[in-house]
Amino acid sequence: MATSTLFFVFFLLLFAPMAAFDVPTIPFSEGFSHLFGNDNLIRSKDDRSVRLSLNRYSGSGFISSELYEHGFFSASIKLPRDYTAGVVVAFYTSNGDIFSNTHDELDFEFLGNVRGKDWRIQTNVYGNGSTARGREERYLVPFDPTEAAHRYSILWTPDYIIFYIDDVPIREVVRSDAMGGDFPSKPMSVYATIWDGSSWATSYGKIKINYKYAPYVSEFSDLVLRGCRVDPIQQVDTAERCAETVEELMSADFALLTPMKRAAMRRFRERYMIYSFCYDQRRYGNFTFPDCDYVSPEHARFGEWGDNRFPPKEVRRSRRRVRKPSPINVQSSE
């Protein structure tokens, strides 16, 4: 069977149609406010989408108007085109402005690249300032994220965290007693930013940003903030007050990993994960993370730096051999 046919069959299997999440979206002004970047943040006339840009003078970003104690946070994001080495676009939750030394954080970080090479997507999980034990994973994705908007979602509950691309779960972190404070537990805000990450984002910082191609523009739409809002100062009985909201979250379709969703997650990770903190012996030595499955077949694919021994080919070069349109659930940004 031809390589192009094999790739297309795999693509169909990975993104086999699943029920779309039924979640209400909100206007920007209903849940967010400008964080930084002055004129580098531009809202659409209908207040349903926002463009963040980066130039040689500044990046830009926005932040949720409230703190949340658990929730489902989502946005459709279209990334900058062309040469994007050194550019970082991020959609994440954090409380670093309140707990500077013991902050929690959940990230989607989109790492730019040179022309013709794929963006990388990185997910991070930090709890109680545990950046020294950073739980990072990095992936390629089976589409060009600059052609159209795709939905990226973070579900954070008291018991587990799930990262989604469109309706496909790509990572699950289950809380355990052994994780202790490494599992995020304090109220967080939701952020979106674009900034210059030349020191590390592309080829471990070897390739820098080139402002000849600026401005770099990313677009955010289909904004979702679904969770328990809390006061940053008066957090008395937060768990009790948020119990009903958490119960609703954990019974929603995006919180239920059906056998079909788990199979899709396994296929995505087998095909597109290119780095895992679990296997990075150079960074962590013989330290073992309680949330890593060291006996899984996944282990054999990664070397001592945590990198995939058999990295997938660049997605765009593979996609050029596929003429049929992909079946992935694309939500275009107007």
Residues designated catalytic: 105, 109
Positive or negative torsion for Cα 312, 119, 93, 208 = positive
CA atoms of 100 and 314, how far apart (whole Å)? 38
**In the beta sheet, which residues pair with residue 88?**
111, 195
- Three-state DSSP class for residue 167: coil
Task: Determine the length of the chain.
Answer: 334
Contacts of 36 (CB under 8 A, 6+ apart): 58, 59, 60, 61
CA atoms of 166 and 18, how far apart (whole Å)? 10
The closest alpha carbon to 72, from 228, 184, 264, 258, belongs to 228
Place of tokens 């597109």: 272
The closest alpha carbon to 255, from 168, 171, 329, 162, belongs to 162
Place of tokens 């805000």: 189
The closest alpha carbon to 225, from 194, 191, 253, belongs to 191
DSSP result, 54-116: E-SS--EEEEESSEEEEEEEEEEEE---S--TTEEEEEEEE-TTT-SSS--EEEEEEE--STT
Task: State which amino acid sits at residue 86.
Answer: G
DSSP state at residue 291: T
Here the tokens at position 289 are 């993370």
* 121, 108 Cβ separation under 8 angstroms: yes
